[in-house]
Structure 1
Amino acid sequence: MSVLDIQHRDGVAYLTLARPEKRNALSLALQQELSDALWDADERTDIHCAVISGQGTDFCAGYDLAERPPRDETKRGVKTIDDDIWQLERQQRLRMTIFDMHKPVIAAIHGRCLAGGTDLAFLADMVVAADDATIAFPPARDLGSLPNQMWLYHCGPQWAKRLLLTGDSITGKDAAQIGLVLKSVPADELTAEVEHLAQRLAMIDPDLLTTQKRIVNLGLELMGARTLQRLACENDARGHRAKAADTFRANVRDKGLKAAFAERDDKFGASFVDPNAPEHGK
């Protein structure tokens, strides 16, 4: 059963994460389907760009934490730190298709874009968000680090640290203000906004689109962006060994995911960052 809706029209590949009952949580199968669909769009001569969006109430709530590697003694699990890094790198290679493919990719964020959802979205060439979208990496509070690190290149070191050191959230509107996303629009205008942008790209020769994307991404590589992605997996595996991560996993085992999230997040209260307001006014 497919977990990705694929539509090709008017020179654009519209790829929609289709696990709304799981808030489009990223399973290995979903990431594989998305990677395959992106490479297919990259190869097709009638496609100029791709748009990634999500079905239902959210863009993507993160990785599917209920998914576990099959128990097979002949294959890697997650017993050692190298196993952990290997598993993280396998999934990262699928997501890096967004960065590596020649044609441009637009991410359309609505609802919640959390944890792994940000790993996916921020690899896109342009990110357009609904004003009321919620963007955050809550696992920074108790589980690990980002296995993809593009925040630094979008919003700079200080805002990346402000958001990642606390796991606090930011709205799509405020994310646009600090440069984390390209722009934001009212939620009911998001689809039209992204389609209009995609149609402008569809009027350009794909080979020319490639030249613009590649030179910018090569510039990012010269700034270390691609190497940093590889290091991000190792850094996340390190975070998985923190005492807080052990506590989180025990809470999931004993109380369930919902209760574990509540125990982690409730004490932070309202955790939205306002770039224009004092911290003590929250």
Structure 2
Amino acid sequence: MSPDAAREEILYDVADRIATITLNRPERRNALTFRMRREIVDALRSAESDDDVTVVLIRANGPSFSGGYALSGRGSKSYWDDGTRPDRWVDAEEFDGWTDQWARSCLRDWMNVWELLKPVVAMVHGHCLAGGSELMSLCDIAFVADDAQIGYPPMRGMTSPDIPYFPWKMTMAQAKYLQLTGNSVTGAEAAAMGWVAKSFPAGELEEQTMRELRAMSHIAPSLLAANKESVNQAYEIMGMRTHFNQAWAMHSLSGALRPGARDFARKLREGGLKTALEWRDGPAREEGFR
């Protein structure tokens, strides 16, 4: 996409040194289609090259930030809603079936946030699940509603994460608990464990987030870039990028080769999404977990 291309699934606006990217599929809880992902990446690059932008905000319309990656039609041509795949998707007999182009594409998309010269802030409300939590967790700062629901339920019956951010965002105890159970936490709990920067009452989330951004937007973009790179560099030295770059292998093994790897897909095909989600998440809900 070019910077001037029509955007169908996001909104983009620049005002007062803040570029705002708004996920705009509210009727589908902002499920992340390939088109939406491409539009987000395109908007990030537009903001990076715009001298009128100091900081980037990612937010969402509707009741939820994002319910995760779009599942309907996945694995069929219809899933690529405009007939194209993500940038650098390799579709060849030598690589199909083992190189996990899906997980690789997720990492490439959201590392655009990590690598952007300008800080990217997520403002999260409602559900922020699976792929939505990957996007949020790769942002430099996340402000969330106290009652937001944040987690990665697919780990209960589908695959390991596309981007295994858990060990890099929280303690080992918390990372293992959340990744092994697939349970979700509230925004207030996520703030307490250091997963996100701050949480606010839902009614105050926008006011408090914009207050933070207005102050940040007056810092020189060059200094923000230097400080962002300084922090990023520490995590790169500790091995975060290497860990992320290897995640596709465990994602592929857990999603294709382990016993029962196809069960969710079979439930989805035979009974639809609600049936598959009940099979995956029902036992946890019966025990009172989200």
Q: Does TM, scored on the shorter chain, surpass 0.5?
A: yes
Q: What CA distance in whole angstroms lies between the structure 2 residues aligned with 1:57 and 1:245? A: 31
Determine if contact 1:130/1:184 at 8 Å carries over to the other structure: yes
Unaligned runs of 5+ in 1: 273-282
The letter for the 2-side match of 1:61 is: G
Q: What CA distance in whole angstroms lies between the structure 2 residues aligned with 1:132 and 1:146? A: 24
User: Which residue is 2:229 aligned to?
Assistant: 214
Total equivalences in the alignment: 269
1:174 is paired with a residue whose SS is helix
User: Which residue is 1:164 aligned to?
Assistant: 179
In the TM superposition, residue 243 of structure 1 has moved relative to its aligned partner by 2.8
Q: What CA distance in whole angstroms lies between the structure 1 residues aligned with 2:164 and 2:55? A: 23
The letter for the 2-side match of 1:186 is: P
What does 1:77-156 align with in structure 2 at a 5 Å threshold? Answer: 80-82=97-99, 85-156=100-171
Q: What CA distance in whole angstroms lies between the structure 2 residues aligned with 1:244 and 1:138? A: 17
Tell me which stretches of 4 or more aligned residues in structure 1 moved more than 6 Å: none
Deviations 1:190-238 (A, max 9, x none): 1111111111111011001000000000111011111121112222112
User: Which residue is 1:259 aligned to?
Assistant: 275
Q: What CA distance in whole angstroms lies between the structure 2 residues aligned with 1:250 and 1:217? A: 40
1:51 is paired with a residue whose SS is strand
Answer yes or no: is 1:55 the counterpart of 2:49. Answer: no
Q: What CA distance in whole angstroms lies between the structure 2 residues aligned with 1:30 and 1:18? A: 9
User: Which residue is 2:244 aligned to?
Assistant: 229
Determine if contact 1:99/1:124 at 8 Å carries over to the other structure: yes
CA 1:266–1:96: 2 relative to 1, 3 Å: same
User: Which residue is 1:240 aligned to?
Assistant: 255
1:248 is paired with a residue whose SS is helix
What does 1:155-194 align with in structure 2 at a 5 Å threshold? Answer: 155-194=170-209
What does 1:13-32 align with in structure 2 at a 5 Å threshold? Answer: 13-32=19-38
Q: What CA distance in whole angstroms lies between the structure 2 residues aligned with 1:194 and 1:2? A: 26
Determine if contact 2:106/2:163 at 8 Å carries over to the other structure: no
CA 1:37–1:203: 2 relative to 1, 3 Å: same
In the TM superposition, residue 34 of structure 1 has moved relative to its aligned partner by 0.4
The letter for the 1-side match of 2:19 is: A
User: Which residue is 1:271 aligned to?
Assistant: 289
The letter for the 1-side match of 2:25 is: R
Q: What CA distance in whole angstroms lies between the structure 1 residues aligned with 2:105 and 2:264? A: 24
User: Which residue is 2:10 aligned to?
Assistant: 4
CA 1:69–1:205: 2 relative to 1, 3 Å: farther
Q: What CA distance in whole angstroms lies between the structure 1 residues aligned with 2:92 and 2:8? A: 26
Percent identity, please: 33
The letter for the 2-side match of 1:22 is: R
CA 1:228–1:183: 2 relative to 1, 3 Å: same
RMSD of aligned residue pairs (Cα, Å)? 1.8
In the TM superposition, residue 76 of structure 1 has moved relative to its aligned partner by 4.6
Q: What CA distance in whole angstroms lies between the structure 2 residues aligned with 1:57 and 1:266? A: 22
User: Which residue is 2:3 aligned to?
Assistant: none
Mean CA deviation greater in 115-124 or 153-162: 153-162
Mean CA deviation greater in 105-114 or 145-154: 145-154
User: Which residue is 1:201 aligned to?
Assistant: 216
Q: What CA distance in whole angstroms lies between the structure 2 residues aligned with 1:75 and 1:233? A: 16
Q: What CA distance in whole angstroms lies between the structure 1 residues aligned with 2:146 and 2:69? A: 23
User: Which residue is 1:70 aligned to?
Assistant: 77
2:233 is paired with a residue whose SS is helix
The letter for the 2-side match of 1:247 is: D
Q: What CA distance in whole angstroms lies between the structure 1 residues aligned with 2:120 and 2:219? A: 14
Determine if contact 1:28/1:91 at 8 Å carries over to the other structure: no
